[in-house]
Amino acid sequence: MTADDRLIVALDVPNVIVGEQVVDQLGDAVSFYKIGLGMLTGGGLALANELKARGKRVFLDMKFFDIGATVEKAVAGIAQFDLDFLTVHGDPHVVRAAVAGRGDSDLKILAVTILTSLDRSDLDDCLIRSGEIQDLVIERARRAFLAGADGVIASPQEAALIRELPEARGRLIVTPGVRPAGAALGDQKRVATPASAIRDGADHIVVGRPVWAAENPRQAALDILAELGTV
Ligand code: C5P
C-alpha cells in the first residue's frame, strides 16, 4: 500500500526500542513520524535518522524557545540531518532565528501557536493577555508566517480560520489534538476528528496515543486512513 503522509504518528514512547516496535507494527500503513522531547534522552535523534534511512518522513518536535542566537545555532545543528519538519515556538524572534539557522536545507520550520492542551484558564495562569484563545492563536499564526515560518501547529478547531489568512497561502497547517470519534481525549482539550481537521484546511494531522497505545496500532492507523478516504 502507499501510505498517506497526511497522517503523522507521534511516537511519544520512552525510547528507540519501543519506537522501533511501533514502527514495525505499523509497517507500510504509516510513512510520517513525529519524534518529540519525551524521546530525546531515549535515542530520539538516532531513531529519526534510522527512520529516514528506512524511507520515512520525520517531524522533529523540539519546540525550541531561546534567544535568537541560540535558536539559530540549534536549528543549524538539526539542519545537518536530512529531516523534514522542526518545531519552534511561534514568537517572531524565534521563528526568524530558526529560518536563518535552517539556511538552504529542506527542513521546514513549523511554529507552535498555543499548545492544544491549554485552555483559557491555563493561559491566565501563564499571564498571557486576555482574549479568546482562538483570536490569540490566529494572530500568533499570522505573525509567525510574517516572520518566515513554513507552517504552523494549531488545534484543528483553529485550522479553518488560519487557512483564511492571506499570510497562510502556500504555508502548512499541522494539527495535533486529533481524536477519532470515541477515542480517549487524554490531556487534549481542543480536539476534532481526523476528517474534520483535514476538511478545515490541515495539511497534516498528528495522532499519538490513539495509534501507539491502541491494542492494534496498525488497525488504529488504518481506521484513521479509512476516515480520510485513503484505504
Ligand atoms: O497522544 P496525542 O495524539 O495527544 O499526541 C499529540 C502530540 O502532538 C504530542 O506529541 C504533543 O506533544 C504534540 N503537540 C500537541 N500540541 C501542540 C504541539 C504538539 O499536542 N500544540
Instruction: For 23-92, give the secondary structure using H, E and C.
Output: HHHHHHHCCEEEEEHHHHHHCHHHHHHHHHHCCCEEEEEEEECCCHHHHHHHHHHHHCCCCCEEEEECCH
Name the band, by pLDDT with cuts 50, 70 and 90, for residue 3.
Answer: confident
Residues 6+ apart with CB under 8 A from 83: 48, 52, 58, 59, 60, 107
Distance 213 CA to ligand 1 centre (A): 14
3 state DSSP class of 175: strand
pTM: 0.94
115, 118, 193: residue to mutate for ligand 1 pocket, most atoms within 8 A of CB: 115
3 state DSSP class of 147: coil
pLDDT 10s digits, 130-181: 999 999 999 999 999 999 999 999 988 899 999 999 999 999 999 998 998 8
CA atoms lying within 13 Å on the CB side of residue 91: 11
Locate 6 and state its grid cell.
Answer: 497526511
What's the confidence (pLDDT) of residue 189? 75
Across the range 3-20, mean pLDDT stands at 94
**Ligand 1 and 209: CB distance under 6 A:** yes
The residue whose grid cell reads 504509516 is 30
What's the confidence (pLDDT) of residue 118? 87
**Ligand 1 and 157: CB distance under 6 A:** no
Q: How many CB atoms neighbour CB 184 within 10 A?
A: 9
Of 176, 124, 130, 169, the closest CA to residue 153 belongs to 176
Whole-angstrom distance between the N-terminal and C-terminal Cα of the chain?
A: 9
222, burial (CB in 10 Å: exposed 0-12, middle 13-18, buried 19+): middle
What's the confidence (pLDDT) of residue 183? 81
Across the range 56-62, mean pLDDT stands at 98
Q: Which residues pair with 32 in a beta bridge?
A: 57
What gap in Å lies between CA 72 and CA 65, rounded to an integer?
10
**Ligand 1 and 115: CB distance under 6 A:** yes
Average pLDDT, the chain: 94
61, 185, 191: residue to mutate for ligand 1 pocket, most atoms within 8 A of CB: 61
8, 11, 12, 173: residue to mutate for ligand 1 pocket, most atoms within 8 A of CB: 12
**Ligand 1 and 194: CB distance under 6 A:** no
Which listed residue (34, 56, 63, 108) is catalytic? 63
Task: Give me the sign of the Cα torsion angle 109, 88, 7, 178.
Answer: negative
Q: Tell me, yes or no, if 63 is annotated catalytic.
A: yes
Of 151, 147, 120, the closest CA to residue 135 belongs to 120
Distance 45 CA to ligand 1 centre (A): 18
Distance 177 CA to ligand 1 centre (A): 6
What's the confidence (pLDDT) of residue 190? 72
What gap in Å lies between CA 141 and CA 125, rounded to an integer?
22
Name the band, by pLDDT with cuts 50, 70 and 90, for residue 231.
Answer: low
